[in-house]
Structure 1
Amino acid sequence: MGQVTVRVGGYSHPVSCEDGQEAHLVSLAAEVDKRVNSIKAMGGQFGESRLILLGALLLADEVHDLKVALAQARAGQVAAAPQPDPRLAERLARIADRIEGIAQTLDRP
């Protein structure tokens, strides 16, 4: 079993993977790191878990758009390329705030 240490948002994370998949895992982590760095560039104080959550949400949004485009292409529909939403990171930050607020109320007895 292979193991690599990846850096995301300035934090190191040891991760195991199948032998031979180390370079692929490093490449995936670099994609997550790009999203996390774009969130950090907005300013504000975010903890490690929140940065990774927001980065994951950005990636999930991209995957969703690609799945929709693929389904449309398979159905023979021509779809316009999705336009990036510059407010997406801000919206995701607000969503994360709401999630954290809910999580805090669940932690209370």
Structure 2
Amino acid sequence: MAETTLHIAGRQYDLRCRDGEEAHLSHLAGLIERKARLAQQATPGLTEVRTLLFAALFLADELNDMKREVAGRQEALPLDGSEDVAVRAIEVLTARLEKLSDRLAGPVADA
């Protein structure tokens, strides 16, 4: 198991992850950090919990919009055999995003 430190909303979080996932988790933390900064700018004085809540809501909203867009494209285009592979890849990626979102939304281990 590898260890990494993420910096989100002014806090440091030490996490364990599978070897090689450090850069990916750092990238995801960057996405959350940007949304947390947006929340803090829009509503100064938010508590840490509310900042992270709004960051999660912003990200969930983006994910929801992407899912609707993908679903709309699937309905608009008749699928032949070659497009089935692309659709399956999108479904797999969507499932991975949801799983990562659930893992990040779980309890945070403080150092």
TM-score normalised by L of structure 2: 0.66
1:20 aligns with 2:26: no
CA shift for structure 1 position 70: 0.4
Aligned mates of 2:28, 2:62 — CA distance in 1: 14
Aligned mates of 2:65, 2:26 — CA distance in 1: 24
1:93 corresponds in structure 2 to: none
CA shift for structure 1 position 13: 0.8
Amino acid at match of 1:57: L
1:4 aligns with 2:4: yes
Q: Per-residue displacement from partner, 1:55-86 (whole Å, max 9, x unpaired)?
A: 00000000000000001111116xxxxxxxxx
Is the helix fraction higher in 1 or 2?
2
Amino acid at match of 2:76: G
Amino acid at match of 2:75: A
CA shift for structure 1 position 43: 4.0
Alignment of 1:21-40 (within 5 A): 21-40=21-40
2:65 corresponds in structure 1 to: 65
Q: Per-residue displacement from partner, 1:16-55 (whole Å, max 9, x unpaired)?
A: 2111010000000000000000111124211111111110
For structure 1, the 5+ residue unaligned runs are: 78-109
* Of 65-74 and 42-51, the range deviating more from structure 2: 42-51
Q: Which has the higher contact order (CA 8 A, sep 6+)?
A: 2
Amino acid at match of 1:59: L
Amino acid at match of 2:31: E
Amino acid at match of 1:30: G
Identical positions, percent:
31
Amino acid at match of 1:44: P
Aligned length: 77
Q: Per-residue displacement from partner, 1:78-108 (whole Å, max 9, x unpaired)?
A: xxxxxxxxxxxxxxxxxxxxxxxxxxxxxxx
